[in-house]
Amino acid sequence: MRYFLILIITLWTGLSYAADVEVEMLNKLNNEYMVYSEKIVRIDVGDNVFWKATDKGHNVEFVKGGIPDGVEKFKSKINEDVQYKFTIPGIYTYWCTPHKSMGMIGFVIVGNDLSNLDKVSKVKFSGKSKKVAKILLEQFS
């Protein structure tokens, strides 16, 4: 009985943390420079994403026009870890403010809701981010 109780507590504790996702802000990953460790994150409503400033010089900023209606503007400070709880379903587009034209962008899909995909597809990306966004958006369908 004691082992069964320990097993239940262990499983329950593990499940309670499964809703959090960590994304590292990096200068280099494999052959890419200025990247997030995960380019597309899929989570449920109420889950958290924790962006870790593994390398210095990066931040997270939600892209205007690339987030669901009703979501407030969000921009973290450079060099700081940040966490955000996603309470509205849809696609969230974000970038590193200093490196957005270098392709440092990412997407969070909340609740498997793609209803704002047309809106997200119209975001004006610059530099390398245009190509990166096109490749990533093709993976949504």
To which H or E segment does residue 61 belong? strand 61-62
Give the pLDDT confidence of 76-103 residue by residue, as tens digits.
Answer: 999 999 999 999 999 999 999 999 999 9
Give the pLDDT confidence of 39-81 residue by residue, as tens digits.
Answer: 999 999 999 999 999 999 999 999 999 999 999 999 999 999 9
> Quick one: what percent of the chain has pLDDT higher than 90?
85
Higher pLDDT, 40 or 18: 40
Tell me which residue has tokens 């892209």.
63
Q: Give the whole-angstrom CA distance, residue 110 versus residue 89.
A: 5
Task: Kindly state the average pLDDT of the residues 103-124.
Answer: 98
- For residue 3, pLDDT beyond 70: no
Which pLDDT does position 19 carry in this prediction?
75
Tokens of 51: 């962006």
Residue 83 phi/psi, 5-degree rounding, is -130, 145
Confidence label for 1 from pLDDT (cuts 50, 70 and 90): low
Q: Which residues contact 97 (CB under 8 A, 6 or more apart)?
A: 59, 61, 75, 78
Mean pLDDT for the chain overall: 90
Residue 79: helix, strand or coil by DSSP? coil
Domains of the chain: 20-137 (2.60.40.420)
Tell me which residue has tokens 């209606």.
69
